[in-house]
Structure 1
Amino acid sequence: MTLLSIVIPCYNEERNIRLGALENVAHFMNKKKYPWEVIIVDDGSTDGSISLIDLYLKEHKHFKKILLSHGGKAAAVTAGVLQSCGKYILFTDLDQATPMTQIDLLLPWFDKGFDIVIGSRNNKRQGAPIFRLAMARGFIYLRNMILNLGITDTQCGFKAFTKQAARTVFPKLRVFNR
């Protein structure tokens, strides 16, 4: 049984793929002793992403691909989550704004009984411009004042679910078009 499914939405990510984003995922996950899979969901890319993914899949048996017409990130994540077979399902961005190493921090929370674990980028991030950091902090403060969710980073693209939680939540998600 697959322990971890990693869903990675992709839209015009040729540059990040060429810079080694998929290699980073494989390099990290190949060290793991548990069964895993990576599902790349291409959301109608118009650059060279698909051909690079196809080349990559030929050499990496743990990687799979789903092709969609351009429906947006939510549609891509949902498609990947619903086709995953892991006990735990993580989705993350291909640009790896949150490094793959953070998986090791998320998984132990499931052993403590959590069904959903949400990553956070609120720790100090090296290299981020001061203006971006200030804007991010302001947004977080404003969001917390209004919504009071108790979640420090709702926009972090690094979220994990038990299979049961994912199968309960994701079929109910709806995307509203303008």
Structure 2
Amino acid sequence: WGDNRAKKDATMKRPYLSVVIPAYNEVKSLQKGVLNEVFDYLSEQKFTWEVLLVDDGSTDSTLRLLKNFAAKHQEFRVLAEPHRGKGGTVIAGVLKARGELVLFADMDQATPISEVEKFLPKFNEGYDIVIASRAGREGAPLVRKLMAYGFAVLRTLVLRLPYRDTQCGFKAFRKEAAQKIFKRMKIFTPIKSGFNEKHVSKGAGVTAGFDLEILYIARKLKLKVAEVKVDWHHKESERINPLRDSWEGLRDLIRVRVNALLGRYRL
């Protein structure tokens, strides 16, 4: 009985790092063994960790595959969420993460989990948030690179965010910093998060607004943000639509600016 209690106490201790991975119809990525890559890397680290696999109401067998994997790997947890898009799914995972630091990363491992090694020293230097910058965007089609450049120019003019890359899906926070930011978000808001039961998440897609709003609020709160170059490889996705993504990015940029002008991001 004593051994079982000690084991339970050990598993309940707060891990150093929580990794949140959103999932929506990710059977192809899962069949490639991406979660094994995550497990193999983290298992070699000296710090304690957990992984939260957050299913965004997948319509294929993603949830079943996630549960099967987690059943064999005790450090992995599965959260089954209603479909509301990547933003709401990431928020749900981050708010339920137990780690001192929380990283969210894409399932396809376009930015390999091992790149977190470049992030951790920044937290030791006193930073609250560390974001990835995709130097060169290796393998990305020319049209995507041109779109990214144009969006970066607009972003700088409209929101004055001093970062080269706001949209990479590989960002880490001190847990306390994430909580401060998420409870102030307006485009994407926590659902039943403990902050406000009346909040309703808006937007079912992967749009620019999620990352923009995070970084704009972080800047308003005077949180220290470090930007780190990472290895990143373009992954083909049927979900990418250049025209739609450009329109939604511009729309979200305007929404964040309007919210700011109306004083909706209270400190």
TM-score by length of 2: 0.62
Structure 1: which amino acid aligns with 2:157?
A: M
Q: How does 1:134-173 map to 2 (within 5 A)?
A: 134-173=146-185
User: How many residues are aligned here?
Assistant: 177
RMSD across aligned positions (CA): 1.6
Provide the residue aligned with 1:131 in structure 2: 143
Provide the residue aligned with 1:14 in structure 2: 27
- Deviation, 1:38, is 0.3
Structure 2: which amino acid aligns with 1:4?
A: L
TM-score by length of 1: 0.92
2: CA distance between counterparts of 1:17 and 1:119? 23
Percent of aligned pairs with the same residue? 44
* 1:73 corresponds to which of 86, 93, 96: 86
Give the gaps of 5 or more residues in structure 2. Answer: 1-13, 189-200, 204-267
Pair 1:26-2:39 in alignment: yes
2: CA distance between counterparts of 1:163 and 1:177? 23
Residues 136-166 of structure 1 show CA distances to partners (whole Å, capped at 9, x for unaligned) of: 2232223223322112211111111112112
Structure 2: which amino acid aligns with 1:109?
A: K
2: CA distance between counterparts of 1:172 and 1:139? 24
Structure 1: which amino acid aligns with 2:146?
A: A
Structure with the bigger RCO (C-alpha within 8 Å, sep 6+) is: 1
Higher Rg: 2
Structure 1: which amino acid aligns with 2:136?
A: K
1: CA distance between counterparts of 2:120 and 2:76? 20
2: CA distance between counterparts of 1:111 and 1:77? 24
Q: How does 1:54-65 map to 2 (within 5 A)?
A: 54-65=67-78
- Deviation, 1:99, is 1.6
Residues 71-102 of structure 1 show CA distances to partners (whole Å, capped at 9, x for unaligned) of: 22121111111111111011111112222121
Moved more, 160-169 or 132-141: 132-141
1: CA distance between counterparts of 2:68 and 2:140? 33
